[in-house]
Amino acid sequence: MSTEIGYAVLAAVLTFVGASFVEYAVHILMHRRVVLGKIHTQHHKENVTDGAVWEFAYYAAGAVPFGLAATAFWWLLGLPEVGIGVCLGSVGYAAFAAYAHQIQHERPELVFWMPMPVHTVHHVHQQWRQNFGIGVDWWDRVFGTYERTDWQPDPARRRTSLLDFLRIRWV
């Protein structure tokens, strides 16, 4: 692997992790009614989403401008591959978070990457001070907002095929 590709991959991974923190922090700010408080309260009351594509559009509204600015910044410093990595990492996390949000509302039993689908539990138990992660639970664990809650997947909704991961509301 060339050095340039290595820089791009490293930048994408670090940005992905950083974006997961931004998502966690913004979710906390929503609960404190600093950002989109009324809309988020309504989201909790209705417990529905707008579909994975629309969720991606919302997340990308922040990720794309950040990624483009970072690309321009690193380009000016002579490291365009780092900027491209940052752009890919931020947009990549926006896509992952949108999918994770949708799947946790519709098919939480498919969330294999966490021991407990924290966003599902956050909604089901109306946790206003715990389990703020959507795509990952790392930051809840780091900052003490993770609360292990009894959650068992509905046995009637077990995964039967890989296509189940695509059987969600997209729009």
Q: Domain map of the chain by residue range? A: 3-166
Give the residue-averaged pLDDT of 58-73. 93
pLDDT at site 13: 98
Write down the mean pLDDT value for the chain: 94
pLDDT at site 155: 85
Give the residue-averaged pLDDT of 46-55. 94
Comparing 6-10, 14-18, 44-48, 95-99, which segment has the lowest mean pLDDT?
44-48
Please state the φ and ψ torsions of residue 100, each to the nearest 5 degrees: -60, -40
The burial class, CB within 10 Å (0-12 / 13-18 / 19+), for 39 is exposed
CA–CA dist 2, 161 (Å, integer): 38
Instruction: Give the DSSP letter of residue 108.
Output: G
Residue whose structure tokens are 């970072």: 70
Comparing 14-23, 63-72, 121-130, 156-165, which segment has the lowest mean pLDDT?
156-165
pLDDT at site 157: 83
Q: Has residue 52 got a pLDDT over 80?
A: yes
pLDDT at site 171: 96
pLDDT, tens digit, 9 for 90 and up, residues 2-43: 899 999 999 999 999 999 999 999 999 999 999 998 999 999
pLDDT at site 160: 78
Residue 156's pLDDT band (boundaries 50, 70, 90)? confident
